[in-house]
């Protein structure tokens, strides 16, 4: 069994220190990284990386941002992934998500957060580069996972697909919502697991036009809300 990681970055010639640190960490875990630079679409980049990996059925594939720091002992990190993805009934696993995707299709919807429907935690950096943690809730089963870190197995990818759906206009946004809800619809169970991850982002990309266009397209093409049954 092997573990692979597909990571998109802006330029192979101008890799940031954060990305280099991530690559060093993953190498120390024995994880082979496919660094996809200068790509025109995240969807096609992940598909291209997956094709190059050509994994065996028992392998694990990570899709993650290039601006994260994984704060786990390497052996503990690998064990968490292997244990959480042992069953073929599991879809995607990651550090944060929700049990209810609301009609606005925003997984971190504040009302659901207050209602205790979110799961996991992620540490961020504020504008002064000070760390703060978003404690979404206890780990467990979810509908949707945040795309900063997703891990899955080939049987799930075979059913879900990595290609961009025709109704999306933007090439970089809402892939996580699409992939994980599709896994749920296909009968897989997604889980938030206990992972200590620092994300060097405050979510500024939410403000860009392509994010809003893909969100609107997702809403039009899906019956929302999607919520776990009691």
Give me the CATH number covering residue 69. 3.90.550.10
The pLDDT value recorded for residue 26 is 98
Residue 39 buriedness (CB in 10 A; 0-12 / 13-18 / 19+): middle
Residues 182-210 have a mean pLDDT of: 86
Q: Considering just the CA atoms, what is the radius of gyration of the chain in Å? A: 16
**What is the pLDDT confidence band of residue 11, given thresholds at 50, 70 and 90?**
confident
Give the separation between CA 222 and CA 116, rounded to whole angstroms: 24
203 pLDDT above the threshold of 60: no
66 pLDDT above the threshold of 90: yes
Helix (H) and strand (E) counts in the chain: 7, 15
**What is the pLDDT confidence band of residue 107, given thresholds at 50, 70 and 90?**
very high
Residues paired with residue 125 on neighbouring β-strands, in sequence order: 131
Q: Give me the domain span that covers residue 145.
A: 3-227
Nearest to 88 by CA among 155, 148, 8: 155
Of 134-143, 158-167, 206-215, the one with minimum mean pLDDT is 206-215
Q: What percent of the chain has pLDDT over 70?
A: 96
Residues 175-196 have a mean pLDDT of: 98
As a whole number, the mean pLDDT across the chain is 94
What total of structural domains would you count in the chain? Answer: 1
Q: Which residue has the tokens 């573990």?
A: 3
**Higher-scoring residue by pLDDT: 218, 203:** 218
Give the separation between CA 5 and CA 8, rounded to whole angstroms: 10
The pLDDT value recorded for residue 202 is 60
DSSP one-letter code for 138: -
Other beta carbons less than 10 A from residue 41's beta carbon: 17
Residues 72-97 have a mean pLDDT of: 98
49 touches 36 (CB < 8 A): yes
The pLDDT value recorded for residue 205 is 53
* Helical pair 175-185 and 42-53, crossing angle rounded to 10 deg: 60
What own/partner pairs with CB < 8 Å and gap ≥ 24 does 72-76 have?
72/195, 72/196, 74/25, 74/28, 74/29, 74/30
Give the separation between CA 110 and CA 114, rounded to whole angstroms: 6
Q: How far apart are the first and last CA of the chain?
A: 35
């Amino acid at each position: 069994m092997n573990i692979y990681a597909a990571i998109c970055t802006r330029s192979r010639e101008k890799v940031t220190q954060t990305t280099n640190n991530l690559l060093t960490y993953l190498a120390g875990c024995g994880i082979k990284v496919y660094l996809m630079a200068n790509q025109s679409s995240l969807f096609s980049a992940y598909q291209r990386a997956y094709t190059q990996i050509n994994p065996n059925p028992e392998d694990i594939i990570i899709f993650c941002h290039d601006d994260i720091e994984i704060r786990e002992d390497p052996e503990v990190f690998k064990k968490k992934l292997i244990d959480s993805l042992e069953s073929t009934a599991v879809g995607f696993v990651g550090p944060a998500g929700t049990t209810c995707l609301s009609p606005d299709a925003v997984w971190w919807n504040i009302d659901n957060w207050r209602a205790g429907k979110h799961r996991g935690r992620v540490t961020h950096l504020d504008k002064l580069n000070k760390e703060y943690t978003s404690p979404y809730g206890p780990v467990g089963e979810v509908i949707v996972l945040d795309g900063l870190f997703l891990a899955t197995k080939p049987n799930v990818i075979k059913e879900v697909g990595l290609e961009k759906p025709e109704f999306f206009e933007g090439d970089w946004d809402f892939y996580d919502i699409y992939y994980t809800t599709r896994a749920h619809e296909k009968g897989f169970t997604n889980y938030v697991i206990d992972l200590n991850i620092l994300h060097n982002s405050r979510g500024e990309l939410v403000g860009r036009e392509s994010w809003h266009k893909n969100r609107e397209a997702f809403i039009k093409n899906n019956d929302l809300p999607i919520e776990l049954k009691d």
